[in-house]
């Protein structure tokens, strides 16, 4: 890793030396009037059945129902498999047709009233069931095996309507799971932001700068206010990755004034990944953990590295940090728990099996100033770029 960005230095007594601090804290017209996103990301709709994970769960659930249902009329395992194959030939096209229809209409459905949503989804299930039966009956009639009867279409039609309503209920419940997770994330964030030591150190830093450099003191307080505003004001469960990076930079900027040379920052940011849609408050809890468990316990300090990269239609996010030598085996592992679990749950709620979340200690191959060996803590997130609509 090439650590080029250095935090503001401190004096021999450990007090911040504002005269040698970087100019990143100078107030400009852009800082006073930050740009506002014209179209903030909206909450995920309940009908987002286009996810691979949702499709797999619906199809596998249908397969399980068929396996159990065909057991009733089977006298031998070969007969059971034969009945399951025939039932699958009729049900699978119906399920796929329903998934395609709901996926295509998901945005329109998301704008309708709840009662109309249930009626439409149930009706689509009935039509899909009738379609599956008709195509199976047509195939049987074509090869001369079966003859078609209108009465025979009643059972698959009603079954399709019932299963459509069942999946609708599951999708609504799945959507509702996102709200408690988001509420918990905001509560955890608020608790972290109002920790006395964080407020005390930040205000002390601002007070030390007031007489020497009032502009920088004002910028520190503005960043602190922005952290509170982001944690409490935004009603959205989604955010642009660029906004999350900005929030993390504000937090680490404040911490760099406190730790001085003990905290080395390295940002490797891909502009092509800025528009990726990610869970709100994704990065800040992770970089806070990195500082709390990687930098603060170490007398020598350490480093934090944040990297974003877009590869095709996926974004890769990596947060790594040094770990104190004494904490490598035990305390660092225990320290990363609540924040990691919270972020992992929210990432999986948004992208399901399309996302990957990894966290843990890894060998340090190339550290600051070419130092190798030892271990570092790495959090790696891979997810689709997503859509704000």
DSSP per residue, 117-173: HHHHHHHHHHHHHHHHHHHHHHHHHHTTS----GGGGHHHHHHHHHHHHHHHHHHHH
Residue 348 lies in a domain: yes
Residue 4 lies in a domain: no
Residue 144 lies in a domain: yes
What's the count of helices (H) and strands (E) in the chain, helices before strands?
Answer: 13, 7
Instruction: Identify the pLDDT of residue 199.
Output: 65
Judgement on whether residues 124 and 220 belong to the same structural domain of the protein: no
Instruction: Identify the pLDDT of residue 196.
Output: 54
Pairing assessment for the beta strands 375-384 and 356-363 based on DSSP bridges: antiparallel
Judgement on whether residues 170 and 182 belong to the same structural domain of the protein: no
Q: What phi, psi does 264 have (nearest 5°)?
A: -105, 130
Judgement on whether residues 245 and 351 belong to the same structural domain of the protein: yes
Instruction: Identify the pLDDT of residue 103.
Output: 86
Judgement on whether residues 153 and 237 belong to the same structural domain of the protein: no
Instruction: Identify the pLDDT of residue 188.
Output: 56
Judgement on whether residues 92 and 22 belong to the same structural domain of the protein: no
The domain boundary residue, chosen from 126, 145, 176? 176
Residue 389 lies in a domain: no
Q: How many beta carbons lie within 10 A of that of residue 383, not counting itself?
A: 23
Rounded CA Rg of the chain: 28
Nearest to 264 by CA among 1, 4, 18: 4
- Are 18 and 215 contacting, i.e. CB atoms less than 8 angstroms apart? no
The domain boundary residue, chosen from 176, 203, 222? 176
Domain count across the chain: 2
Instruction: Identify the pLDDT of residue 332.
Output: 44
Q: What is the DSSP letter of 14?
A: S
The domain boundary residue, chosen from 176, 199, 221? 176
Instruction: Identify the pLDDT of residue 275.
Output: 93
Instruction: Identify the pLDDT of residue 358.
Output: 93
Residue 253 lies in a domain: yes
Judgement on whether residues 94 and 214 belong to the same structural domain of the protein: no
Judgement on whether residues 113 and 86 belong to the same structural domain of the protein: yes
Instruction: Identify the pLDDT of residue 8.
Output: 42
Instruction: Identify the pLDDT of residue 264.
Output: 93
Judgement on whether residues 116 and 218 belong to the same structural domain of the protein: no
pTM of the shown model: 0.58
Judgement on whether residues 114 and 188 belong to the same structural domain of the protein: no
Judgement on whether residues 38 and 122 belong to the same structural domain of the protein: no
Containing domain of residue 116, as a range? Answer: 52-176
Residue 9 lies in a domain: no
Report d(CA 23, CA 15) in Å as an integer. 18
Instruction: Identify the pLDDT of residue 241.
Output: 95
Report d(CA 160, CA 154) in Å as an integer. 10
Instruction: Identify the pLDDT of residue 304.
Output: 95
Residue 37 lies in a domain: yes
Report d(CA 354, CA 337) in Å as an integer. 23
Instruction: Identify the pLDDT of residue 190.
Output: 47
Residues forming beta bridges with residue 267, ordered by sequence position:
306
Residue 344 lies in a domain: yes
Judgement on whether residues 171 and 185 belong to the same structural domain of the protein: no
Q: Specify the CATH number for the domain of residue 330.
A: 3.30.565.10
Nearest to 95 by CA among 135, 45, 53, 55: 55
Block means of pLDDT (10 residues each) for the chain, length 389 residues? 42 40 33 37 56 83 87 82 85 89 85 85 90 82 65 83 87 67 54 54 74 78 74 66 89 81 93 92 87 88 94 95 69 59 82 87 67 78 78
Judgement on whether residues 83 and 195 belong to the same structural domain of the protein: no
Q: How many beta carbons lie within 10 A of that of residue 161, not counting itself?
A: 20
């Amino acid at each position: 890793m090439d650590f080029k960005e250095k935090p503001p230095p401190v004096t021999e007594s450990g007090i911040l030396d504002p005269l040698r601090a970087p100019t990143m804290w100078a107030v400009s017209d852009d800082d006073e009037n930050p740009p506002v996103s014209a179209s903030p990301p909206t909450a995920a709709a309940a009908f987002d059945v286009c996810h691979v994970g949702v499709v797999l769960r619906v199809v596998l659930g249908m397969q399980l129902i068929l396996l159990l249902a065909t057991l009733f009329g089977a006298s031998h395992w070969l007969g059971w498999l034969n009945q399951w194959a025939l039932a699958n030939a009729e049900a699978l096209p119906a399920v796929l047709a329903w998934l395609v229809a709901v996926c295509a209409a998901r945005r329109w459905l998301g704008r309708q009233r709840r009662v109309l949503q249930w009626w439409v989804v149930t009706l689509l299930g009935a039509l899909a069931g009738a379609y599956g039966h008709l195509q199976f009956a047509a195939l049987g009639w074509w090869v001369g095996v079966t003859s078609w009867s209108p009465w025979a279409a009643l059972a698959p039609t009603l079954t399709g309507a019932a299963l459509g309503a069942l999946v609708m209920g599951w999708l609504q419940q799945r959507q509702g799971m996102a709200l408690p997770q988001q509420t918990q994330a905001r509560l955890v964030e608020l608790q972290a932001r109002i920790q006395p030591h964080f407020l005390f150190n930040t205000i002390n830093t601002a007070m030390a700068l007031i007489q020497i450099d009032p502009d920088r003191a004002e910028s520190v307080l503005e960043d602190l206010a922005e952290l509170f505003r982001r944690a409490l004001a935004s009603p959205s469960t989604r955010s642009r990755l660029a906004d999350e990076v900005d929030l993390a930079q504000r937090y680490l900027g404040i911490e760099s004034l406190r730790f001085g040379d003990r905290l080395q920052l390295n940002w490797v940011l891909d502009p092509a990944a800025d528009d990726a849609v990610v869970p709100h408050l994704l990065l800040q809890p992770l970089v806070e953990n990195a500082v709390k468990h990687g930098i603060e316990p170490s007398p020598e300090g350490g480093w934090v590295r944040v990297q974003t990269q877009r590869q095709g239609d996926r974004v890769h996010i990596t947060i790594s940090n040094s770990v104190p030598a004494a904490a490598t085996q035990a305390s660092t592992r225990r320290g990363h728990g609540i924040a990691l679990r919270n972020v992992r749950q929210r990432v999986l709620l948004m992208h399901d099996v399309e996302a990957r979340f990894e966290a843990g200690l890894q060998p340090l191959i190339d550290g600051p100033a070419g130092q190798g060996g030892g271990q570092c803590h790495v959090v790696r997130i891979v997810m689709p770029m997503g859509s704000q609509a």
